[in-house]
Structure 1
Amino acid sequence: MPDPVLGTGEVVVDVVAVGVLPYAAEVFRGERQYLLTLPVTPGSGAVGRVRAVGPDSTRLRVGDWVLCDPTIRSRDDALTPDITLQGLSARGPGGVRLQEHFGQGSFAEQLLVPTENVFPLGTIEPADVGLWCALPLLLVPYGGLLAAGLRAGQTVLVSGATGNFGSAAVAVALAMGAARVIAPGRNEKTLAELERRFGSRILTVPLSGDEDADRERMRGAAPGSIDIVLDLLPPSAGTTPVRAAAMAVRESGTVVLMGGVGMLGGADLGLPYPWIMRNNITIRGQWMYPREANAQLIQLARTGLLDLRQFSVTAFDLDHANAALAHAAADGGRFSLTVIRPGTPG
């Protein structure tokens, strides 16, 4: 690919490291049916150093360590902007139009990013750059917990807690001050690992597949009531565990849906109208996160409230991107990062 050409409102970043999603190969094979204009350089989000800035940038400096947010929004509609996930997907025809300019992703030596999508990290150790690739993963559940209005001392149930985004949600919820996190799942070994990692603030619930029984187990695990349910189950999951978890929330509680259930077809969720109305339940869908979440999450990591050192990193160079995809699919997941290091100056 040619070097990106800098324009007003844009920044060119030397990519030092980029995380590989565990399901990235599914996207590139077309299994997830994402809108992705070909040909494309894939890769969403990156950590790198500023190479060049446009004339409207007043704070960024060449050489700054930065986080590149892949969630690119159109600038001509503040209320309902079109969105593309750089190098990964788009939402609707408007998102596809954004891909025509910003579609090339971060499996590359250089990346063209809108100025508003570049966030300073401060000074970081080059040896730790792979750990900072956890931020794009953590930003997703952080967006859901912000949408739920999580307050310190509340109890959160993470539906899908044994998965990649779900386990990240456990870490973020605790960093934000949740008193307890309820973690349901079928894999009892993984549940035990979460207990060892987070101690008494996490309460695990083995699931049986019986919706009513599982709901009662989740309610019974909470020392009080469940204030928030955050669903992050993947497209392969059915609606039964989503509904079981959602209806475990307390009266006047909040349910946030961020997972992929139903994206590949199947039954609707089917939450009962009377239960929603009579119990004053708030149900909210949330795709990704607001722009300001980037700076807030960086500060959580900077202060140590969110410890990035709990992640392990396996790095590949750019020539072995296919091996990185295979590794992420086989070994990516809970607190395990697969990273591509393009080899630019660090």
Structure 2
Amino acid sequence: MKAAVLNNFGSPLVIEDVADPKLGTGEVIVDVVAAPVLSYADEVFSGERQYLLPTPVVPGCGAIGRVRDVGPDATRLKIGDWVFCDPTVRSRDNAVMPDITLQGWSARGDGGKKLQEYFRDGAFAERIRVPTENAIPIGDLDPAEASRWCAVNTLLIAYGGLLAMDFKAGETLLVSGATGNFGSATVATALAMGARSVIAPGRNEAILHDLKRRFGDRLVPVQLSGNADRDSEAMRRAAPAPIDAALDFLPPSVPASVARAAIMTVRPYGRAVLMGGVGMLGGEDLALPYPWIMRNNITILGQWMYRPKAVIGMVGLIRGGLLDLDHYAVTEFALEDVNKAVAHAAANAGPFKLTVLRLQA
């Protein structure tokens, strides 16, 4: 089969003939129809992000495709079913603390690296082998819509943070990093879940205006000044009710002070979930005040990716008409143009822009 291979960090991807994946018990082979190209893929492939990813490797994080073959333990999946290939692969021998690898993308810790040795290659290929539980049915699909369904890959991460904080309909949410790819997905998902309002701070006036245009009065934009104290007060004032929770998706390039200013807007007994990259490349620590956390009964959670059942809930939001994938503008590339796709994704990293490798019609 054809696949895009990263032979070394800092080198372009190369289209090669590689061996077809072999089916094992507890596994599914999927014909990849469309695979998202993440906006920061160039930073991963260059080595800038220092992800745990052995080379040579077929990269690619998640896919939409059709089941080609199933193992003997699959009781519901059928050949031809449309599925989302969930890249979040969890070890099966510790239900309390499963190790995790992002198939074709990265790993967490020694256990994740061991898991990665087997579930190594990702979705930039004609076929992919995934654990049975990671081939999640999404229902009948017009093949023309497969690329747009790749947005699930981003929306799920936002949904994972909202589930982690037990976000409820009628609550007010602040999204730190709302003008970014994951932040804007959080805005759309929270509103689909019934948020009373979503506070969207940011410095990009054009993107804030676009969010307001898309989502109306329940979206409250806040133009940031760069002064932490002033910005915290502006965010609190803009909210129509006390801010119940904050979800942080700021990237590694943003100072911790920006994240801290947003998190500290939550009301007493409020919650904050951290899912961004602040501090990953060095710099100031987040340094939230101990007395503020303790005396106000604040809950601080870290969340990487999402719970296994999140995909089912996300599909329900989309199929129920609550979350509209038409927000996403899709640009497709053939597998042979994978390096152009990576460059395009980096240059078009804004909200609701989706770059996709299209592997089948």
> What is the rounded CA distance, in whole Å, between the counterparts of 1:264 and 1:228 in structure 2?
26
> What is the rounded CA distance, in whole Å, between the counterparts of 2:350 and 2:26 in structure 1?
35
Give runs of aligned pairs for residues 69-218 of structure 1, distance below 5 A: 69-218=86-235
State which of 243, 260, 264 in structure 2 corresponds to 1:247: 264
> What is the rounded CA distance, in whole Å, between the counterparts of 2:236 and 2:288 in structure 1?
17
> What is the rounded CA distance, in whole Å, between the counterparts of 1:73 and 1:280 in structure 2?
32
SS at match of 2:261: helix
State which of 319, 341, 344 in structure 1 corresponds to 2:358: 341
- Is 2:74 the partner of 1:65? no
What does the per-residue CA deviation read over 1:85-110, in whole Å, with 9 as the maximum and x for residues that have no partner?
Answer: 01110001111111111110000000
- Is 2:18 the partner of 1:18? no
> What is the rounded CA distance, in whole Å, between the counterparts of 2:196 and 2:293 in structure 1?
25
> What is the rounded CA distance, in whole Å, between the counterparts of 1:332 and 1:66 in structure 2?
26
Look up the equivalent residue of 1:335 and give its one-letter code: F
TM-score, normalised via structure 2 length: 0.95
> What is the rounded CA distance, in whole Å, between the counterparts of 1:227 and 1:332 in structure 2?
29
Residue 274 (structure 1) aligns with: 291
Shift of 1:38: 1.0
SS at match of 2:283: coil
What does the per-residue CA deviation read over 1:221-258, in whole Å, with 9 as the maximum and x for residues that have no partner?
Answer: 00110001000000111101100000000000000000
C-alpha RMSD of the superposition: 0.7
TM-score, normalised via structure 1 length: 0.99
* Contact 1:161-1:185 at 8 Å conserved across structures: yes
> What is the rounded CA distance, in whole Å, between the counterparts of 1:57 and 1:301 in structure 2?
25
> What is the rounded CA distance, in whole Å, between the counterparts of 2:282 and 2:253 in structure 1?
10
Shift of 1:333: 2.5
Look up the equivalent residue of 1:154 and give its one-letter code: E
Instruction: Report the count of equivalent residues.
Output: 344
- Is 2:319 the partner of 1:293? no
> What is the rounded CA distance, in whole Å, between the counterparts of 1:207 and 1:138 in structure 2?
25
Residue 30 (structure 1) aligns with: 47
> What is the rounded CA distance, in whole Å, between the counterparts of 1:14 and 1:216 in structure 2?
51
> What is the rounded CA distance, in whole Å, between the counterparts of 1:238 and 1:113 in structure 2?
37
* Contact 1:37-1:96 at 8 Å conserved across structures: no
Over the matched positions of the two proteins, sequence identity in percent amounts to: 64
> What is the rounded CA distance, in whole Å, between the counterparts of 1:25 and 1:287 in structure 2?
21
4+ aligned runs moved over 2 Å, structure 1: none
Look up the equivalent residue of 1:74 and give its one-letter code: S
- Is 2:256 the partner of 1:233? no
> What is the rounded CA distance, in whole Å, between the counterparts of 2:349 and 2:222 in structure 1?
23
What does the per-residue CA deviation read over 1:267-325, in whole Å, with 9 as the maximum and x for residues that have no partner?
Answer: 11010000000100000000000000011101111111011111111000100000000
Greater CA deviation, 45-54 or 32-41?
32-41
Look up the equivalent residue of 1:249 and give its one-letter code: V
Residue 56 (structure 2) aligns with: 39
Residue 257 (structure 1) aligns with: 274
Look up the equivalent residue of 1:332 and give its one-letter code: A
> What is the rounded CA distance, in whole Å, between the counterparts of 2:345 and 2:122 in structure 1?
17
Give runs of aligned pairs for residues 314-329 of structure 1, distance below 5 A: 314-329=331-346
Give unmatched runs, 5+ long, in structure 2. 1-17
Shift of 1:332: 3.0
